[in-house]
Amino acid sequence: MTVRVRFAPSPTGMFHVGGARSALQNWIYAKQQGGVFVLRIEDTDAARNKPEWTEGILSALDWIGISRGSYEGPYFQSANAGEHRAAATRLYESGRAYYCDCTREDVQARTGSQYQGYDGYHRDLGLGPGPGHALRFRTPDEGSTVVVDLIRGEPTFENKLIEDFVIARGDGSPVFLLANVVDDMTMGITHVIRAEEHLPNTPKQQLLWDALGVKPPVWAHVPVVVNEKRQKLSKRRDKVALEAYRDEGYLAGAMRNYLMLLGWAPSGDREIVEWSVIEDEFRLEEVNPSPAFFDEKKLRAFNGEYIRALPVSEFIDACQPWLTGTGTIAPPPWQPEEYDADAFAAVAPLAQTRLAVLSEIVPNVDFLFLASPLIDEAAWTKTMKDGSADLLDAAIAAFEALQSWDAESLKSTLEAVGAERGLKLGKTQAPVRVAVTGRTVGLPLFESLEVLGRERTLTRMRAARLRLV
């Protein structure tokens, strides 16, 4: 039997990091088993679906390494509507489903509770199909449904506690539960690896598989992903869009690595490992069923490690979208003609050691490409105090007299200026840094001044000095 897994997102918004984790787990499992990864777009929610969301799913999968052409699909659930309706008809004709025209208010009036589930009123009344008649599955009165789960063991659900659930609406359209089952049957899915939030629906789906005469798939419900308050990650409350992390400058390798650690870990005391190690060592049955904490601070640390591990040439290439404003990245504060690739290449090794995300490259190097620096007024106020004017005057004069404009000469010269005033280098260079870069922190100062050049450096220092008059 060929293993066939599926990833079935809905195109109703940005691509959730939890969905990305499920996609990766399905992808690796299929690869390990010599099987097939199927992409199915569950697009039956016409009011919320948008073509751009579908493209977003495909692009996000591309980014994390599940490239187009390497999987089967994408299929679209809406294209299988005929099979959904045919399955509903078979269930009705076989007596496994019946029609019901009860409203929620009807059930509440009979049971005396708004919290009571459906009471089976129409089970034996023989109501036929018609406008407003929903089709309900006839859940067995006795026994239990055992879900054999690779991660959670054998959760058991008493059938008497499962209400006769709706499988087709009053207009005849099948609901998600039935459509999902029929699609998996049609596509020959053998293993369903999905989020824990779907577990409550699984006994209902397994009953549908049984009623339609097909062996259910192997189930594996991976743990829910939670925030620092141990609440399920929410699009309304949390930063969950994979595209947002991509556009902020997280590397795909770092994101892949981190997502796979949500509920699982490689052997040994390791977390940052080669993708080939993850592909080799990942085991579904070793996934921890407990909720998995998505720690953005830890992800940032991961990403910083991945950035520092890049060859410098790859780091330079990776920064280009932020330096040139390409794709979905906002344009930088300088004009395209102001960008100097050679200047960036000169400071790239210095910048590479300081970034947690690639978007941080812009405030680190903007002073190189702008006609004048963007002054952080808080930094100016904090730094330009009594004595700063005298210090800048002396530094300007000393720099003007330099024969060699290199980092070491600049450093020793400014050290001497500070020593004459009883200042350590840190105090001496602070006004110069703010005057030249606009900030109190950034790349190593003297290497930056070397790349910026004599004339631009002195022009900025003189402008700062005039502002202190």
**Structure confidence by residue, pLDDT tens digits, 32-84:** 999 999 999 998 777 677 788 899 999 999 999 999 999 999 999 999 999 99
Say whether 278 sits in a helix, a strand or coil: helix
List the chain pLDDT tens, one digit each, 469 residues.
899 999 999 988 889 999 999 999 999 999 999 999 999 999 877 767 778 889 999 999 999 999 999 999 999 999 999 999 999 999 999 999 999 998 888 877 776 666 577 887 889 898 999 999 999 999 999 999 999 999 999 999 999 999 999 999 999 999 999 999 999 999 999 999 999 999 999 999 999 999 999 999 999 999 999 999 999 998 888 899 999 999 999 999 999 999 999 999 999 889 999 999 999 999 999 999 999 999 999 999 999 999 999 999 999 999 999 999 887 788 999 999 999 999 999 999 999 999 999 999 999 999 999 999 999 999 999 999 989 999 999 999 999 999 999 999 999 999 999 999 999 999 999 999 999 999 999 999 999 999 999 999 999 999 999 999 8
Amino acid at 123: R
**Structure confidence by residue, pLDDT tens digits, 267-294:** 988 999 999 999 999 999 999 999 999 9
Active-site pick, 160, 204, 232, 235 = 235
CB 57 within 8 A of CB 9: yes
Q: Is the dihedral of CA 286, 8, 64, 195 positive or negative?
A: negative
117: which residues sit within 8 A by CB, 6+ positions away? 163
CB atoms within 10 A of CB 255: 24
Q: Would you call 235 a catalytic residue per the annotation?
A: yes
Pairing of strands 134-137, 166-168: antiparallel
Residues 40, 38: Cα–Cα separation, whole Å: 6
135: which residues sit within 8 A by CB, 6+ positions away? 88, 91, 92, 97, 98, 99, 100, 129, 166, 167, 168
CB 442 within 8 A of CB 368: no
CB 49 within 8 A of CB 10: yes
CA dihedral 124, 126, 132, 138 (to 10 degrees): 40
CB atoms within 10 A of CB 315: 19
* Length of the chain, in residues: 469
Residues 212, 91: Cα–Cα separation, whole Å: 7
- The DSSP line for 102-124 is --HHHHHHHHS-TT-----TTTT
415: which residues sit within 8 A by CB, 6+ positions away? 425, 428
410: which residues sit within 8 A by CB, 6+ positions away? 399, 402, 446, 449, 450
Residues 349, 237: Cα–Cα separation, whole Å: 37
Residues 354, 377: Cα–Cα separation, whole Å: 23
CB atoms within 10 A of CB 391: 24
Say whether 74 sits in a helix, a strand or coil: strand
Residue with tokens 């007596």: 95
**Which residue ranges form the domains of the chain, and what is each CATH number?**
4-75+176-225 (3.40.50.620), 84-168 (3.90.800.10), 372-467 (1.10.10.350)
Residues 444, 9: Cα–Cα separation, whole Å: 46
Residues 160, 140: Cα–Cα separation, whole Å: 7
Instruction: Catalogue the E-assigned strands of 144-237.
Output: 144-146, 156-158, 166-168, 191-195, 218-222, 225-226
- The DSSP line for 169-190 is -TTSPBPHHHHHHHHHHHTT--
423: which residues sit within 8 A by CB, 6+ positions away? 391
Q: Indicate the burial class of 133 (C-beta count within 10 angstroms; 0-12, 13-18, 19 or more).
A: buried
